Structures are given as C-alpha cells and as structure tokens.
C-alpha cells in the first residue's frame, strides 16, 4: 500500500517530531530525520551531477544509505521553512519526493538511476501552513496538532518532565514532591506558550536550585511550596489580572491565533472632536484595517437601530488602537471585537467584564466563522475569561475540545452583529 504523506501542523514545542519517532517505534521501522529549515539549494534534495567537484547524493538518499533500510519512517522537519534562491526551488524538488504517483521512480542526479521511495513513510512537520507551496500542500495529509491545556501540561510535567530533569540533575526520584497546585502556578505565571519547552526550562531551574540545596545544606524540604517557587523563579512573569476587566467604555477583549498558540488582544477605542474619520494604529495588517472600516460603516448605517446618534459619527473621529505596537498583527478574527469596541465608545456603555470574542464581520451585519478555535479558547481559559462570543458555525470546533478543559466558560453562538452587541454591552 502507498503510504499517505502525513504533515503534522502545530505550534513549536508540542512534540511533532517526537510523535514521528513514536510512530516509527510503534510500526517497528527505522527512524531518520531530515531537517529542511533554511534549505535553499535544489541539489540538496536531488543530488549533484558527478561532473561537479564535491558532488554527493541528495539528503534523501544519504539518509536512506545511513539508516540501511529502504522503508524507514522519514521525518521532514520544518517543511514550511524551505527557502528559494537562484540555485533552484527545493520545495518543487520535494514534489517528486512526496508525490505517491511519482516517487516510485525518484531520480537522483548523483546516482544516475531511478530509486523507489514509495516504501518510505514520510512525515513532514510545520508551524505555519501558509508558508508551504500550494502544489506541495496539496500532496500532504495535514493533521492539526493544537497546543496543550493546563491540565494536559500538568500531566506531561508529572509523567515526563519531572522524572527526566531529576535524573539529569542527579536527584533521586523520591527526594521531594511537587504538587499539582505548584505546577499550575509555574505554568500560569512563568510560561506563555502552546508547547512545553519553556515549562521544561522552568522545571530545570527548580532542579538546579534543589541540587544546590543538597550541596550546601545536605538535605531537602520534602515538598516545594508556592513561596519556594517565587524564591527560585523570581516574581511571576505573566499576570492574568490585566485581562480580566476592561473598566472603561471603548475597550473590548479579542482572541487571537499566533503560530505559538492562542493569545488575548485588547482593542481600545477613543473618540475625539473631528469630522467622522477613522484612525488605526498598532501595526495592523490589511485584513484588520478592512475589518475596522467595515465595522465603522456598519455602525454608521445602522445607528438608529443600535441607539447611536448619527451626529456623533459626523462630528467625532474614532481612533482604534491595539497595544503592543511593535508586534505585527493581521488576520480575519478581530472584526466583531473592533465593532464592539467602537459601539461601546459611541454609546458610552462598558463591555461586559470577563468577556472575550472572535469572529469576522460583513457589511450585511453577519458574523463569519474563523479558525484556531481550540488555541483561542484555551488562551481565554488561561486568562480567566468566563464568557466567549463566536460565530454559530464554530460550535463544531468547540465540541472537539475536551469538556474538562473548558469547564466554567459560557459560550454565546451568534449569527448577526446585533446579537453580539446585545450580549457584550451592559
């Protein structure tokens, strides 16, 4: 049977490469990894012709020769980071490697023979699907791997990270205990990520501190408390207090997807005397600028229904700002948040506290579905949000999340922008 070409897509540090290794162990095949990050020369895939000095086979055949197996599990790491330059386009050369219809006769320039790659199980990994060439993306079977919830991170830390770090720092397995509450504090206050790499580093810091205690004092406390964590890791790096309330009219909380997982965005609006113009700041991309214009126009067109005065639109300039101006922001999920922030500023009503939202808007007043729902919802949970507004078509995405991870969050599924305002404005 021809193997499907799997592509694990997800944020860094969630174990895409490790999963490939586990697949190889499970099906009892040899495992080989080819890193494609920064690869920009086509001959690295296809091999050099023998006329060149220093000619050698391509990386694919080198790996097969090294592993001495014609049917290994081959991980093509970071397939979205393949570059292109005047020496050719390696992602187009990968088409021949990965297409099940062609790769039974893969031609390597150095070998000068056709080699059958159809028995190899290829697994690609990527962080961002938009960077993969469309023709190459078409041949991949993409499996979305989303970030971990806090509960999952606690289990990963207990079962894998703690035993590994204790062993690496020469500590006995039962020398001291770390409770779930303490692990949760480390995850919430010292890491802001989808994967567990930063968590692994923080646990390593705790182990170094414990190793030092043994050397200096000869004994350890049986359990690590919350106070000990502050002594070892310093003051908390991240605070959720900031996100929980937006006390003044004109401030709404949106949910964003970044390639390292979900995050929360403040959208601030301020009105000033003027001629009814709209000003946007905060390093926004074209999609977000268009969403803001759409929101402004829709509010102006439906001012009477919503209870706004049309005079305000003509006499007041609206300024929308998204903090962290150094970070570029773009994407189609801030439409309803911008619209709510504008409506809040024009009506003088505050947005309900502990409420976040995500969704795109149309001039007809409809709310459209968006992607990255799991990451966004988990980010909202981490930040103490209690209610989330999103498009009714995204309900199926929420159904895929383990109910344990989103306990305590109330979801509002909406079809129109009017419904969003009815829920959000108090």
Annotated catalytic residues are: 333, 376
Q: Which are the contacts of 185, defined by CB distance < 8 A and separation ≥ 6?
A: 226, 229
Using CA atoms, how far apart are residues 201 and 168, in angstroms rounded to an integer?
A: 12
Helix (H, G, I), strand (E, B) or coil at 124: strand
Which helix or strand (DSSP H or E) is residue 258 part of? strand 251-258
How many Cβ atoms sit within 10 Å of the Cβ of residue 381?
21
Q: What distance in Å separates the CA atoms of residue 146 and residue 331, rounded to the nearest whole number?
A: 18
- Kindly compute the dihedral angle of the four CA atoms of residues 209, 210, 214, 220, in this order, to the nearest 10 degrees: 140
CB 150 within 8 A of CB 238: no
Rounded to the nearest 5 percent, the helix, strand and coil shares of the chain are 40, 20, 35
């Amino acid at each position: 049977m021809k193997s499907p070409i799997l592509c694990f897509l997800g944020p860094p540090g969630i174990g895409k490469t490790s999963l490939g290794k586990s697949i190889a162990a499970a099906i009892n095949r040899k495992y080989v990894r080819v890193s494609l990050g920064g690869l920009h020369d086509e001959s690295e895939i296809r091999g050099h012709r023998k006329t060149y000095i220093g000619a050698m086979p391509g990386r694919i055949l080198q790996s097969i020769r090294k592993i001495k197996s014609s049917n290994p599990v081959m991980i093509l790491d970071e397939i979205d980071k393949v570059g292109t330059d005047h020496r050719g386009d390696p992602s187009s050369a990968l088409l021949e490697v990965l297409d099940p219809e062609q790769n039974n006769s893969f031609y390597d320039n150095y070998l000068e023979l056709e080699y059958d790659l159809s028995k190899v199980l290829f697994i690609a990994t990527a962080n961002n699907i938009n960077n993969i060439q469309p023709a190459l993306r078409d041949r991949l079977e993409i499996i979305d791997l989303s970030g971990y919830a806090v509960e999952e991170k606690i289990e990963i830390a207990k079962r894998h990270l703690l035993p590994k770090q204790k062993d690496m720092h020469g500590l006995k397995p039962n020398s001291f205990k770390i409770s779930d509450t303490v692990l949760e504090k480390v995850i919430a206050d010292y890491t802001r990520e989808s994967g567990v790499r930063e968590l692994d580093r923080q646990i390593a810091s705790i182990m170094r501190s414990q190793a030092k205690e043994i050397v200096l004092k000869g004994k350890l406390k049986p359990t690590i408390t919350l106070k000990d964590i502050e002594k070892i890791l310093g003051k908390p790096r991240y605070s959720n207090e900031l996100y929980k309330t937006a006390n003044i009219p004109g401030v709404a909380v949106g949910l964003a997807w970044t390639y390292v997982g979900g995050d929360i965005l403040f959208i601030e609006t301020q009105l000033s005397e003027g001629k009814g113009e709209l000003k946007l700041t905060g390093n926004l991309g074209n999609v977000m600028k268009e969403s803001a214009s759409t929101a402004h126009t829709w509010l102006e067109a439906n001012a009477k229904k919503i209870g706004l005065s049309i005079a305000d639109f003509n006499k007041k300039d609206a300024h929308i700002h998204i903090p962290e101006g150094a970070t570029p922001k773009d994407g189609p999920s801030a439409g309803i948040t911008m619209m709510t922030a504008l409506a809040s500023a024009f009506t003088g009503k505050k947005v309900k506290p502990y409420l976040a939202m995500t969704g795109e808007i149309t001039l007809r007043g409809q709310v459209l579905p968006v992607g990255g729902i799991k990451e966004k919802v988990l980010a909202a949970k981490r930040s103490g949000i209690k209610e989330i507004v999103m498009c009714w078509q995204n309900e199926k995405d929420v159904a895929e999340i383990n109910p344990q991870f989103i306990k305590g969050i109330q979801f509002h599924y909406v079809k129109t922008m009017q419904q969003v305002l009815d829920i959000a404005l108090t």
